[in-house]
Amino acid sequence: MKLRERKKLATWRAIRSAALRLFDEEGYEVTTVEQIAAAANISRATFFNYFASKEAVVFDQDPEERHNWQALMNDRPADESLWDSLSAILTGFCESLRERLPVQRILKAQSPALAQSGQSFGEQFFTDLRNWVAERTAGSDELTATLRLNLAVAATLTAYQTWLTDESFDGFLRRLERCLRQAGPGASTD
């Protein structure tokens, strides 16, 4: 990465860090773009060069995240079952969000505006995952591949939706593993 790109990434991350800190301290609703810009030591115009809105600070993916999750997909062994690959990819994706996912969850719970937001983190990830499954299973049973993908995504969403308020992120990961185990081929109900 060239120096200019590294500086832009550092600025992007500084803005997000300042915003998340202010949201935690002051609340999402009352924190303004101007306050975020001041805390990140940038202008309001610079804020909008990096983020389309205050909401985007919460949901936009880190510019390097896509490369990281694509590596998760591409690194799966060709002879591994689709379900095992999906389980590893989804668990790895959630693990990569260890620092951000709990904060996003709390902010959505505290903010009516964010709770009603149509924007969802992970939209690009799920699009890439669907494309990866289609490429990996080309020429095979499309119905089964699509069903496996949808079950794995549903298991992940179920783990997130049932993540207890006082449960740690590691507790969430254990919940995710349980959901994936229960939803997978030969699933049990334990």
| Band of pLDDT at residue 120, cut at 50, 70 and 90 | low
Domain with 23 in it: what CATH number? 1.10.10.60
63 has a pLDDT exceeding 90: no
- Tell me the torsion sign for CA atoms 38, 105, 149, 89: positive
98 has a pLDDT exceeding 60: yes
84 shares its domain with 174: yes
Which residue, among 66, 73, 68, has the nearest Cα to 125 in the 3D structure?
A: 66
Rounded CA separation 54/39 (Å)? 14
Its domain, for residue 50, covers 3-57
Could you tell me what percent of the chain has a pLDDT over 70?
94
| Band of pLDDT at residue 188, cut at 50, 70 and 90 | very low
Mean model confidence pLDDT for the chain: 89
- The answer as to whether 188 is a domain residue is no
Rounded CA separation 190/180 (Å)? 12
Rounded CA separation 179/158 (Å)? 7
Query: Domain total for the chain?
Result: 2
88 shares its domain with 107: yes
80 shares its domain with 97: yes
